[in-house]
């Protein structure tokens, strides 16, 4: 089961540069990066609604949703920012630099979330090895962009 999870997450990660390129291309045809991002989210939303209907998943009640902390509602905002930024900067930076920077940003944030136990993650101390790994990814982002 762990190997299946790893494969699915690798596949999801592999789709990030593809999604950025596709949304950037859509922005050229729509005339607006913001419209391209909105269209992307709309299509994704329609797909998720269709999948939920097909699987007959239970719709959460308003009472259940009211129990969620305020910060739990920020996912859509963060996703909108991410998709829009990728569509804007993909043609300017290229896929390799774009994704190297995304990974560096993800690792920096992930280590902070783990260290402080934020956003539902269990706190775990940051090690010098993790910091060195982030430094190497940062160096990789620099080298990818420079050369």
Per-residue pLDDT of 67-76, as tens digits, reads 999 999 999 9
Domain boundary residue, one of 90, 108, 126? 90
**Inter-residue contact 80 to 36 (CB < 8 Å):** no
pLDDT in tens, 17-71: 999 999 999 999 999 999 999 999 999 999 999 999 999 999 999 999 999 999 9
Judge if 131 and 108 occupy the same domain.
yes
145 and 118 in a common domain: yes
Same domain, 20 and 70: yes
**Does residue 104 share a domain with residue 73?**
no
In which domain, by residue range, is 126 found?
94-147
pTM: 0.82
What's the rounded Cα separation, in Å, for the pair 28 and 90? 12
Last residue of a domain, one of 47, 63, 90: 90
Q: What angle do CA 88, 74, 136 make, to 5 degrees?
A: 60
Q: Is the domain of 32 the same as that of 16?
A: yes
């Amino acid at each position: 089961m762990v190997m299946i999870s790893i494969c699915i997450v690798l596949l999801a990660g592999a789709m990030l540069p593809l999604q950025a390129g596709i949304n950037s291309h859509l922005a050229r045809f729509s005339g607006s990066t913001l419209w391209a991002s909105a269209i992307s989210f709309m299509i994704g939303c329609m797909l998720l609604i269709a999948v939920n209907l097909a699987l007959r998943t239970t719709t959460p009640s308003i009472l259940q949703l009211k129990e969620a902390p305020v910060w739990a509602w920020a996912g859509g905002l963060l996703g909108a920012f991410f998709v829009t930024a990728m569509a804007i900067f993909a043609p300017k930076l290229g896929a390799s630099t774009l994704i190297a920077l995304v990974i560096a940003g993800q690792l920096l944030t992930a280590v902070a979330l783990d260290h402080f136990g934020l956003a539902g993650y269990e706190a775990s101390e940051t090690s010098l090895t993790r910091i060195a790994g982030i430094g190497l990814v940062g160096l990789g982002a620099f080298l990818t962009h420079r050369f």
